[in-house]
Amino acid sequence: MDRTVETSRRRFLAVFSSLGLSGTLLPGVLWAQLQAQGAGSVDAAMIRDAAALAGLAFSDAEIDAMIKPVTQSLARMRKIREATIPNDVAPPFYFSPLTPGMVVERRHRPPRFAATGKVRRPANLEAVAFWPVTRLSALIKSRQVTSLELTQMYLSRLRQHNARLNCVVTMLDDVAIAQAKQADAELAAGHDRGPLHGVPWGAKDIISVKGYRTTWGSGAYKDQVFDYDASVVEILREAGAVLLAKLATGELAGGDQWWGGRTNNPWRLDEGSSGSSAGPGAATAAGCVPFAIGTETGGSILSPSARCGVTGLRPTFGRVSRYGVMALSWTQDRLGPMCRSVEDCAVVLGAIARPDGRDLSVGGIPFNWDATLDWRRLKVGYLPAAFDDAGRDADWKRNDQATLDQLREMGVTLVPLNVPDFDIETVQLSVEAAVFFDDLLRSGRYRQMTNTGRADRFRAGRLIPAVDYLQSQRMRSIMMRELAAATAGVDVYLAPSTLGEPRPPEGADAPLPSPCQRHSQMANLACYPGLALPNGFAASGAPTSVLFMAQPYAEARLLALAKAYQDATAFHLRQPPLFAVA
């Protein structure tokens, strides 16, 4: 390398580091190197050096021909980087979880809920803290309790137990009291907004609430306040639900560690609640909220639901608007309910699954819940290679087998399915997160993060070329078709939770993905709906969990079978001993 190129290289590295983009030089540094020169145009030596860093080789003639278009592209990129793009602006293209040949129901039908039977207010109102939404709703509608009374009881429990759980970021007493009083007044006037009218809930702290902090779990955003509500907040308010608090999220929607510390598992306070919907999982499991809204990009609803023993639904991509919610991946992010029971998930999803005209990935495909659906007529599959994996934790493996045995005892014929052997390495999450957090890196605010190492992934994603990003999405489409073919013969299928997988020793190389992990990654990237629900307990006393899965937009069938299993086993009715109500 001659002196001129070496000088350019060193200048590039210095500027690259000052931008907070230091790290391994991956493909994609071409544009970053050109920016580092600070010149309005480029020359052949700069292109040759940048190409070498990116692993590319061009002839002298090809390089000479590139100088003009590269200079023009650099000028366009500088204009883009000078622009201010609001957080709520997504790219103008929308991912679809449907693959060729998939058929979904498009006719809207009225929901059918199971009968709750007679409910009676207990002498101690706190005894209803663990009641499902359906019974709380019946209690309110029968005028045995007011929304205000319920709201005050849950606010009290949040305050009482938060010191041990660390699940609350911001209490919203004034909002909750005002909404509860309005709910009571409307019901007294004969205006019933539906099954969530007067029922309290909690929101994960990447969901914006107008005028209150939305910290995204990060020290870099501790004082962030938006002047608008997320669509899901508006929709639930219109349904009459009462918002109690902003609940903890792992920093920038990762894990259970946030700027306020670790959120703890109500069943075992010595371990985290998993994440990143850490607060929603812990608060729901501890009877501090009747339900919560979590978000998932790569396991952030299913994992904390499994760890905390709640029933958590990751809906199909495109079911629920993400407007006003922090983005990690515009082609993977989903919002979903974390509840006490399967039917609670159906109630909440029925309220929030509708287009809002803002998140254009949300279509009009109906969610037609029918608690009377004959689940015995469903074709049900399972993944024998994942369930039989000898490396799984013994407690989880035992309870998984008991789940399969229980379903067979109920009359279900389980059809074996195979997970496609597909290379699932993708780059879209890294790239899309790098786009959303580009300003965090460029401004230097990443230094205020609680865990600055989290920014490394965003740095790496910034260096992946657009060509490779789109090629990765095309590979994703191929994988989706293979998974669709593998699951086409069943209405619902079962998979084990990845929490039952062994963790490699500290410092050891990561093992090849197990059948369970491979399926989890594929189903997540394909944006399949999944439901985590408790299926027993480990020797430690902590719950274990199993997954009910289905192809896109088949939540009604998935929930119908899961409800039948849950009704037969009742594991969801147990309460964490430290938070139980006598």
Identify the residue whose tokens are 């009742």: 570
For residue 163, give every residue at least 6 positions away whose Cβ sits within 8 Å of its Cβ, in sequence order, or none.
Answer: none
Q: What pLDDT band is residue 467 in, cutting at 50, 70 and 90?
A: confident
Q: Which helix (H) or strand (E) holds 9?
A: helix 3-18
Q: Which pLDDT score is estimated for 454? A: 86
Q: Which helix (H) or strand (E) holds 295?
A: strand 292-296
What does DSSP say about strands 200-204 and 242-247: parallel, antiparallel, or unpaired?
A: parallel
Q: Could you tell me what percent of the chain has a pLDDT over 90? A: 76
**Average pLDDT over all residues of the chain:** 91
Single residue among 61, 83, 105 that ends a domain in this structure:
83
Residue 94 lies in a domain: no
- Residue 568 tokens read as 């037969």
Same domain, 194 and 338: yes
In the predicted structure, residue 468 carries a pLDDT above the cut 60:
yes
Residues spanned by the domain of 532: 125-422+466-579
User: What is the number of domains present in the chain?
Assistant: 2
Same domain, 45 and 189: no
Q: Which pLDDT score is estimated for 73? A: 76
194 sits in the region (left: phi over 0; alpha: psi -120 to 50; else beta) called left
Higher pLDDT among residues 93 and 31, named by residue: 93
Classify residue 85 by burial, with Cβ atoms within 10 Å: 0-12, 13-18, 19+: exposed
Same domain, 148 and 58: no
Q: Domain holding 332: CATH number? A: 3.90.1300.10
Q: What pLDDT band is residue 504 in, cutting at 50, 70 and 90?
A: low
Same domain, 71 and 201: no
Q: Is-above-0.75 flag for pTM? A: yes
Return d(Cα 236, Cα 318) in angstroms, integer.
Answer: 18
Q: What beta strand segments (E) does 417-520 contain?
A: 492-496
Q: Which pLDDT score is estimated for 40? A: 57
Same domain, 78 and 134: no
Same domain, 44 and 135: no
Same domain, 317 and 412: yes
Residue environment code for 510-549, b if the CB has 16+ CB neighbours within 10 A, otherwise e: eeebbbbbbbbbbbbbbbbbbbbbbbbbbeeebbbbbbbb
Residue 148 lies in a domain: yes
Q: Which pLDDT score is estimated for 16? A: 40
Same domain, 370 and 493: yes
Closest CA to 554 of 184, 105, 101: 105
Residue 108 lies in a domain: no
Residue 556 lies in a domain: yes
Same domain, 79 and 130: no
Same domain, 74 and 159: no
Average of per-residue pLDDT across 2-8:
45
- Are the C-beta atoms of residues 181 and 198 closer than 8 Å to each other? no
pLDDT tens digits for range 242-280: 999 999 999 999 999 999 999 999 999 999 999 999 999
Average of per-residue pLDDT across 435-449:
93
Q: Which pLDDT score is estimated for 22? A: 35
Average of per-residue pLDDT across 89-111:
93
Q: Catalytic residues, which ones?
A: 204, 276, 300
Average of per-residue pLDDT across 77-83:
80
Average of per-residue pLDDT across 350-367:
96
Residue 137 lies in a domain: yes
Q: Which residues are registered as beta bridge partners of 246?
A: 170, 203
Same domain, 484 and 547: yes
Same domain, 10 and 130: no
Residue 131 lies in a domain: yes
Residue 173 lies in a domain: yes
Distance of CA 533 to the CA centre of its chain: 16
Residue 54 lies in a domain: yes
Average of per-residue pLDDT across 383-402:
96
Q: Which residues are registered as beta bridge partners of 312?
A: 338, 532
Single residue among 83, 113, 137 that ends a domain in this structure:
83
Return d(Cα 251, Cα 403) in angstroms, integer.
Answer: 34
Q: Which pLDDT score is estimated for 12? A: 41
Single residue among 29, 55, 83 that ends a domain in this structure:
83
pLDDT tens digits for range 282-338: 999 999 999 999 999 999 999 999 999 999 999 999 999 999 999 999 999 999 999
Sign of CA dihedral 172, 177, 178, 179: positive
- Are the C-beta atoms of residues 1 and 9 closer than 8 Å to each other? yes
In the predicted structure, residue 392 carries a pLDDT above the cut 90:
yes
